[in-house]
C-alpha cells in the first residue's frame, strides 16, 4: 500500500527571508538598460524609457562551443512604443549572434514618447546585446 503524506508548514522567518531574497535578486537584475536610453527626434536628443522586454536566449550552438560576443544594434521606437526598423551596426564574431540579438531587441516595448501630447517616433537608438557565458 502506498500512502502520501502532505504537510503544510508556514514558517514566518523562512517566508520573510524568501521574500527579501527575491527582492534583492530583482534589484540586482535591474540593469542599466532599465534607465532611460537616448534617441533622436529630428536633431534633438531625447530620453526614452523601456518598460518591457522579451526573454534573452543564448544560442545553443554558441553555448555548446563556448562562443561569446556582442552585437551593436540601432533601432527606432514607433509611436506605439514598439521597436521598428532594427538593424545590426556591428557584431563580433560576425554571423553568429545577429539574428538572435535582433529578435531580442524587437521584443522590447517602450513608453511612447509624447511631444506636446502627441506620440512621436524616436530614431537612432543604439544598444549593445552582450553574449557572455556564466562560469
- 64-123, pLDDT tens digit by residue? 999 999 999 999 999 999 999 999 999 999 999 999 999 999 999 999 999 999 999 999
Is residue 76 within a helix (H) or strand (E), and if so which, with residue range?
strand 69-77
3-state class of 102 per DSSP? helix
Second CATH level (architecture) for the domain 34-131 = 2-Layer Sandwich (3.30)
Query: Is a pLDDT exceeding 80 seen at residue 125?
Result: yes
Domain boundaries, the chain: 34-131
User: What rounded mean pLDDT belongs to the chain?
Assistant: 82
Please indicate whether residue 124 or residue 31 has the higher confidence score (pLDDT).
124
3-state class of 61 per DSSP? helix
Amino acid at each position: 500500500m502506498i500512502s502520501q503524506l502532505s504537510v503544510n508548514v508556514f514558517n514566518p522567518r523562512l517566508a520573510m527571508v524568501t521574500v527579501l531574497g527575491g527582492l534583492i535578486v530583482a534589484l540586482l537584475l535591474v540593469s542599466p538598460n532599465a534607465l532611460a536610453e537616448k534617441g533622436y527626434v529630428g536633431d534633438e536628443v531625447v530620453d526614452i524609457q523601456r518598460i518591457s522586454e522579451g526573454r534573452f536566449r543564448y544560442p545553443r550552438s554558441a553555448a555548446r562551443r563556448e562562443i561569446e560576443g556582442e552585437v551593436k544594434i540601432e533601432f527606432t521606437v514607433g509611436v506605439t512604443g514598439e521597436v521598428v526598423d532594427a538593424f545590426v551596426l556591428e557584431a563580433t564574431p560576425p554571423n553568429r549572434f545577429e539574428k538572435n540579438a535582433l529578435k531580442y531587441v524587437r521584443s522590447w516595448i517602450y513608453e511612447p514618447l509624447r511631444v506636446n501630447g502627441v506620440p512621436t517616433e524616436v530614431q537612432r537608438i543604439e544598444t549593445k546585446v552582450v553574449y557572455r557565458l556564466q562560469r
